[in-house]
Amino acid sequence: MYHDVFSDSPAPFIPRSSAMYHISKQSFIQHLAIIKKSTLNVLTVSEYLDNKEKNLISITFDDGWEGAFNIAMPILKDFGYRCTYFITKDFIGREGFIDEKGIMMASEAGMEIGVHGTTHRMLSNCSNDEIIWEFTNCKQYLESLTGQKVVSASMPGGDWNEIIASCAKKAGLKLLCSSKLGLNVPSTNLFKLKRIPIKGSTSDSDLERYCQHNISKELIKSALYQLPKRILGMKRYSHFRRWVLGENNNTTTNEIFKP
């Protein structure tokens, strides 16, 4: 689970809570080299429907950041890989995010385009009708833009529950990626697919372990974060996390993602 790739450094307007998930161009090149050396087969998320062998990996990008397209896509093509871009509709064309032309170019290049919600709000705070709208509005827009069927989605903020999964099915989606850390097996719920988050601090040795299906260290850390999430709920936890990271919720830099 990637977010953005930058040439020199993340844009100054991006808050730390987001920028920590953005990586450098050189790191991304090295990551793909490690994946290539591992002999893992790289598929898009929707291709997972028809192929659930163990030796597979999907490269995903959330939100629709500009660098994920303009910088990462040429590198992916050089390695002969395709990825899945999960797009937030209301972010398209905003500062730092890809525009319609970039999305169409990615689709024409064979990249998968998926849904990341219409507004990026936490869906657990929404009614069933609002959740379905978040999915269908984005889905229909992307299908109209690319001329391709959209069947996959990922959760804004990793906010997942059974109701959200049910609404995703009603919206006509076939797969839903969570932000829950883990590896997927043939029996994994297709509406609760697990991913491994990549951060700026992710080392080459970390990625080598991931390619060997070794995420034990990350699972321990993830378990420690689950308690405050359950106690506070995703919206309050998001505010708390930003406070811990020294972000002032009243400043414009934090208006990219509203919890």
- Give residue-wise pLDDT tens across range 114-148: 999 999 999 998 999 999 999 999 999 999 999 99
The number of angstroms, rounded, from the C-alpha of 80 to the middle of its chain's C-alpha atoms is 21
- How far apart are alpha carbons 122 and 75 in whole angstroms? 32
Q: Is the pTM of this model over 0.85?
A: yes
pLDDT at residue 61, rounded to an integer? 98
- Both tokens of residue 34? 């490690």
- Both tokens of residue 30? 């090295």
246-252-258-259 Cα dihedral, nearest 10 degrees: 20
Could you read off the pLDDT of 189-245 as tens digits, one per residue?
999 999 999 999 999 999 999 999 999 999 988 777 666 666 666 666 566 556 555
Classify residue 104 as exposed, middle or buried by CB count within 10 Å of its CB (0-12, 13-18, 19+).
middle
